[in-house]
Amino acid sequence: MKDWTNDIEFERLSPAAVLAKKLVINPLANYLPASWIKGWLRDGKSELALANWRDPGGWRSMVISYEGNPKRAWDRILVGGGTIPKALRNRRKLAARLLARLIDQTPHRAHALCLGAGPGHIITDAMGQAKNDSYATLVDISSDAFEFGKTVARDKGLLDRVRFIQGDVREVRIDERVDLVKMIGICEYLQDEQITAIAEALGEIMPPGSGIVFNSISKKHGTDRFFRRVFGLNMIHRTPEQLQELLAPAGFGEFQVFPEPLGVYNVVVGKIKSQ
């Protein structure tokens, strides 16, 4: 499984950029008065800031980071040079590749369940890369994410292979076999007991050998204080091992960890163990 990702072209930081962030950029971002930074972003009409103020960590801000070509000057600085946006794009590539290979390992038409899916960029990337046929159920609390998601799926020729369900991932129940679960970008916003409850529900509908793909987030980006004060992002930082401990009681195991090169995210693949 480790050789699945060898040829991915990730975004990286030069040694000089790492040093500049550590000594100058991150301290300024973290400790300048938040009111100053918010004012600059507001006056500069930052779309990334506005998206996070409306819905911290929501799908709109994710799309801005994924696309990587904003129009506003402040957004070009944040999205083009920020460690988190770069790491998000790395995570997208990494998760999509892993999901595609898991689809190809499924001996029948694979059904992927995507929790906190947003508009579905990662799973549709994966379906497009996979050789085997698949279909996906996308669950998100934001209905407007799906209007955008339908355009994404249509552009990739996948609209007839995805369905969208609006709802809280902690409450939605799926009454059919699930071969693969994607939980990218949601564990950092859930409490331990919420992750445990979701894992228990998944364990009831996933057959032995089926896979789950999720991620951890670390503080190596160096700007947690900035995101909390300025964007209202209160993420829960856990190690891959801590997340594995939350999923293991529901029957998940055989975990493999795939770090992206900036050290911010680890994408983890696990499988339901045989009873």
| CATH number of the 86-272 domain | 3.40.50.150
Dump pLDDT digits (tens) for 181-238.
999 999 999 999 999 999 998 988 899 999 999 999 999 999 999 999 999 999 999 9
What is the model's pTM? Answer: 0.95
Q: What is the pLDDT of residue 106?
A: 95
Q: What is the pLDDT of residue 203?
A: 87
Q: Which residues of the chain have pLDDT under 50?
A: none
> What are the sequence ranges of the domains in the chain?
11-83, 86-272
Residue 62 burial (CB < 10 Å; 0-12/13-18/19+)? buried
Measure Cα distances from 110 to 115, 119, 130, 266 in Å.
Answer: 16, 20, 11, 24
Please provide residue 95's backbone torsions phi and psi, each rounded to the nearest 5 degrees.
-65, -40
Q: 3-state DSSP helix/strand/coil percent for the chain, to nearest 5?
A: 50, 15, 30
Q: What is the pLDDT of residue 275?
A: 59
Can you list the pairs that 66-74 forms with residues at least 24 positions away whose Cβ atoms lie under 8 Å? 66/92, 66/121, 71/47, 72/44, 72/45, 72/46, 72/47, 73/44, 74/40, 74/41, 74/44, 74/46, 74/48, 74/49
